[in-house]
Amino acid sequence: MNRKRIVVGVTGASGSPYFLRVLRLLLEANTEVHLAVSDLGKRLLFEESNIAGVSAEKLGVPEFEQNLIIYNDKDLGASIASGSFLHDGMIVLPCSSNTLGAISSGITNSLVQRAASVTLKERRTLIVAHRESPLSLIDLRNMCAVTECGGIIVPLSPGFYMQPKTIGDIVDFMAGKIVDLVGVEHTMPVRWKSSV
């Protein structure tokens, strides 16, 4: 099987543990990950997960450094900003309402936003793992626009039917659902089997 190449964008919404879990799942599956983190994404990594700075080591995946390509979010000339960069899908995780709005409008001022917009125009898989609560009508309309363009909105709202015991279990469930959507294999407990 060909090695997958996935673009990941991290923005300033709550949910950095989901990103850290997805990143590890992708890398463990031998995926090449191309990563950009917005300024507020960096802040959320620090506020929620005590991570200051973005590197394979700081993100807890030093053993996969050669498969993790990190970009400056201000570099709109980076390879992932171009439709000529071939990849198997992009995940924006977590996705803020700000970045959702940029993707839906097509007015992009950062590498995460531009790469997502290009993913839509090239008709590739775009996963938008949005987090905000409650949702405004603007958020809902932006979600409709992205969905109409082929994007997949994934609210960061884990299910509890697998009876999670820890926060890690909850994170694993949501991370597994996201990784499923880009066709990467994993062993997270997401498959429902009825007990009745």
Ligand X SMILES: Cc1cc2nc3c(=O)[nH]c(=O)nc-3n(C[C@H](O)[C@H](O)[C@H](O)COP(=O)(O)O)c2cc1C
The answer to whether 31 contacts ligand X (rule: CB under 6 A) is no
State which of residues 7, 13, 116, 127 lies at the interface with ligand X (CB under 6 A). Answer: 13
In degrees and rounded to multiples of 5, residue 112 shows phi and psi of -60, -50
Out of 12, 17, 89, 158, the residue judged to bind ligand X by CB under 6 A: 12
Cis peptide, bond prior to residue 155, ω within 30 of zero: no
* Residues 111-140 close enough to bind ligand X by CB under 6 A: 131-132
Spell out where the chain has E strands: 5-10, 32-37, 68-71, 90-95, 126-130, 152-153
Between the CA of residue 52 and those of 38, 42, 44, 55, 194, what are the distances in Å? 13, 7, 10, 9, 43
Instruction: Kindly tell me which of 67 and 98 has the beta carbon lying closer to ligand X.
Output: 98
Binders of ligand X among residues 40 to 99 (CB under 6 A) are 40-41, 43-44, 47, 96-99
Q: One symbol per residue from 156 to 175: x for binding ligand X (CB under 6 A), - otherwise; what is it?
A: --------------------
Beta strands in 20-97 (DSSP E): 32-37, 68-71, 90-95
Give contact residues for ligand X (rule: CB under 6 A).
11-14, 38, 40-41, 43-44, 47, 96-99, 110, 131-132
